[in-house]
């Protein structure tokens, strides 16, 4: 069962898309994408440990001597993120810092789009890479615009704010699942089957609406 849940290709199976109930597809996507992320986490932990063993990870900014200069992730920061912008900043942090220095800080316009474009080219020339990173870019920009509305602060009670936080976390988890699955599928055929599923349409329509209604390509 665990082996099946780690297989993101199942989400592009036509029989799975047509015969599996909506909520079950959502649950499968959520669990399988989380298990797929665990592969990244343990590899990053391994590389960080090797770098620290070689003395490369010491962080002099802390008087006690921290060894997280080459840390690529914080598990709880990533998995409890309530927006894609925060998730993106904390995903593969050393590569993100490199991309900021190489691209983001060197441009005054379209910095987010150009940074994601360079990252996509660096990852490889596959359709899934470019489609997935395009969606990722749009979701980050949309989340920034939604954040400016300060919906969380305007809610009337702590209960409503907690509910809003939970819903934001859930939509972030699903967005990560959509993007990660699209990237892993790579080829157009499986991607088109996956995108036929109803589980993709709601989030992506909302993202497209925010992206087109509140354009912010200059950041």
CA distances to 74, 123, 137, 144, 182 from 114, in Å: 25, 14, 10, 17, 20
The residues assigned a catalytic role are 92, 123
Residue 135 near residue 194 (C-beta atoms within 8 A): no
Half-sphere exposure of 49 (CA within 13 A, CB side): 6
DSSP three-state, residue 109: coil
| Burial bucket for residue 186 (CB in 10 Å: 0-12, 13-18, 19+) | middle
């Amino acid at each position: 069962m665990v082996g099946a849940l780690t297989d993101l290709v199942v989400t592009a199976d036509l029989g799975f898309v047509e015969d599996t109930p909506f909520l079950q597809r959502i649950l499968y996507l959520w669990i399988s994408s989380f298990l797929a992320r665990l592969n990244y986490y343990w590899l990053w932990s391994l590389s960080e440990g090797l770098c620290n063993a070689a003395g490369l990870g010491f962080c002099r900014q802390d008087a006690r001597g921290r060894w997280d200069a080459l840390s690529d992730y914080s598990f709880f920061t990533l998995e409890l993120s309530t927006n894609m912008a925060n998730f993106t900043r904390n995903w593969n942090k050393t590569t993100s810092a490199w991309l900021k220095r190489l691209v983001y800080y060197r441009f005054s316009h379209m910095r987010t789009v150009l940074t994601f474009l360079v990252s996509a080219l660096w990852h490889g020339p596959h359709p899934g890479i470019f489609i997935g990173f395009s969606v990722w870019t749009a979701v980050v920009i949309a989340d920034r615009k939604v954040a400016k509305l300060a919906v969380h602060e305007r809610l009337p009670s702590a209960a409503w704010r907690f509910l809003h936080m939970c819903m934001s976390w859930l939509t972030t988890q699903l967005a990560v699942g959509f993007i990660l699955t699209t990237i892993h599928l790579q080829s157009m055929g499986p991607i088109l089957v996956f995108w036929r599923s109803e589980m993709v349409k709601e989030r992506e329509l909302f993202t497209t609406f925010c992206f087109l209604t509140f354009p912010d390509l200059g950041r």
